[in-house]
Amino acid sequence: MTDIIDGNEVAAEVRAGLADGIETLKAEGTTPGLATVLMSDDPASETYVSMKQRDCEEVGINGIHVEIDAGASAEKLFDTIDDLNADEDVHGILVQMPVPKHVDKRRVLRAIKPVKDVDGFHPENVGRMVAGNALYKPCTPHGIQKLLEAYDVETEGAEAVVVGRSDIVGKPMTNLLIQKAPMGNATTTVCHSRTQDLEGHLREADIVVAAAGVPELVTGDMLKEGSTVIDVGINRVDADTEKGYELVGDVEFESAKEVAGKITPVPGGVGPMTRAMLLYNTVKAAGIQSDVTVNL
Ligand code: NDP
């Protein structure tokens, strides 16, 4: 029987696990605060940000939302970030990507104070993670580690294949998997659009993390029997539904679940974990900034 990895359930456990920490912080006079900044008219970005705000409310984190007109100057965004950096009630800052083309994305990542960078994308935080000393692990790969842990997937000595080398998923995932640390120690191969023989690599993999953004790229016949398959992809494809589309992952779920030992669905796999780990990082950030020890 294939185990369907339930991201909603594990995410609920992560959220529940934050309650003590939030209580401790509040008893010391600190309510963890997360600021989300949206500079975009993209409905998907609007949805992501409002979900993050709802999540904050649910666990008792103070959500602060700032919207900036997509046509406003880049300086307006940088001034906002400066204000949030200085605001002692704000412990985490998240600028929803993508930002408009006239804004330098790398400058945005550098502008957020590293201690408030709960996405973990500031160059200083990326460096710390690579060195095995992360302040905040990026939410999606960290959430994947939590899923693997919750389902007793052994990473040590496993052959892992990460499909995709983006800065937000593929690279940090690879980094965490190769670290000499719990939920690391895997022998890890990274595949991307120039990889010659994706199937050949996948067939050897005990653990597959698919993060290519290509609908149903990975099919059951490419997988090793009994492997663990983590599907990060969220792709909208045309479908005969009320909305006119449906969401599919980077893995063809139906064929893959016949071969895999454990597999995440889309939706309900990695997505809820990404959201939960943002809350986790915010609570951690509040602890660091208020000098209160929180058990996470
Ligand atoms: P990017 O587009 O930034 O990166 C995609 C990566 O996949 C690139 O490295 C690209 O290679 C590689 N790739 C593309 N096509 C192929 C192919 N045919 N074979 C092998 N590799 C390929 O995407 P992201 O990392 O930002 O996101 C990936 C997916 O995950 C998307 O569907 C996104 O929506 C989803 N996502 C889901 C999250 C969640 O919480 N569930 C969070 C973040 C993302 P190259 O570098 O050569 O171009």
Determine phi and psi for 151, rounding to 5 degrees.
-105, 20
Give the confidence band of 111 by pLDDT, cuts at 50, 70, 90.
very high
Condensed to tens digits (0 to 9), the pLDDT of residues 64-100 reads: 999 999 999 999 999 999 999 999 999 999 999 999 9
Q: How remote is the CA of residue 192 from the centroid of ligand 1, in Å?
A: 9
194 within ligand 1 shell (Cβ under 6 A): yes
**Angle, vertex CA 19, rays to CA 133 and CA 232, nearest 5:** 55
Give the confidence band of 114 by pLDDT, cuts at 50, 70, 90.
very high
Examine the predicted complex and report whether its ipTM is higher than 0.90: yes
> Given the structure tokens 């999540």, which residue do they identify?
55
119 is catalytic: yes
pLDDT greater than 90 at residue 56 = yes
User: To the nearest whole number, what is the mean pLDDT of the chain?
Assistant: 98
> Given the structure tokens 């490419």, which residue do they identify?
222
212 within ligand 1 shell (Cβ under 6 A): yes
Q: How far apart are CA 67 and CA 61, in angstroms?
A: 19
Closest Cα to atom 48 of ligand 1: 193
The percent of residues above 70 in pLDDT, for the chain, comes to 100
Condensed to tens digits (0 to 9), the pLDDT of residues 99-108 reads: 999 999 999 9
Helix axes 270-290, 43-59, angle to 10 degrees: 60
Per-residue pLDDT, averaged over 9-36, amounts to 98
> Given the structure tokens 């412990």, which residue do they identify?
91
Provide the 10 A C-beta neighbour count for residue 2: 14
Atom nearest to 217 CA in ligand 1: 18
Per-residue pLDDT, averaged over 4-20, amounts to 98
Q: How remote is the CA of residue 249 from the centroid of ligand 1, in Å?
A: 11
Q: Which domains does the chain have, with CATH numbers?
A: 29-115 (3.40.50.10860), 139-271 (3.40.50.720)
Give the confidence band of 121 by pLDDT, cuts at 50, 70, 90.
very high
Q: How remote is the CA of residue 44 from the centroid of ligand 1, in Å?
A: 17
Per-residue pLDDT, averaged over 264-274, amounts to 98
Among 144, 163, 168, 192, name the best residue to mutate to test ligand 1's pocket (greatest count of ligand atoms within 8 A of Cβ).
Answer: 192
Determine phi and psi for 285, rounding to 5 degrees.
-60, -40
7 within ligand 1 shell (Cβ under 6 A): no
pLDDT greater than 90 at residue 239 = yes
Per-residue pLDDT, averaged over 202-209, amounts to 99
Per-residue pLDDT, averaged over 151-162, amounts to 98
Give me the amino acid identity at 203: R
174 within ligand 1 shell (Cβ under 6 A): no
Q: Single out the catalytic residue among 117, 119, 231, 250.
A: 119
| pLDDT score recorded for residue 1 | 87
Binding residues for NADP(+): 164-166, 234
How far is the CA of 283 from the CAs of 86, 136, 143, 193, in angstroms? 18, 11, 15, 37
Determine phi and psi for 46, rounding to 5 degrees.
-60, -40
Q: Which two tokens stand for residue 119?
A: 């996405």
Burial of 246 (0-12, 13-18, 19+ CB in 10 A): middle
Map residue 64 onto helix, strand or coil: strand
Strands 92-95 vs 228-231: parallel, antiparallel or unpaired: unpaired
233 within ligand 1 shell (Cβ under 6 A): yes
Q: Which two tokens stand for residue 13?
A: 């456990």
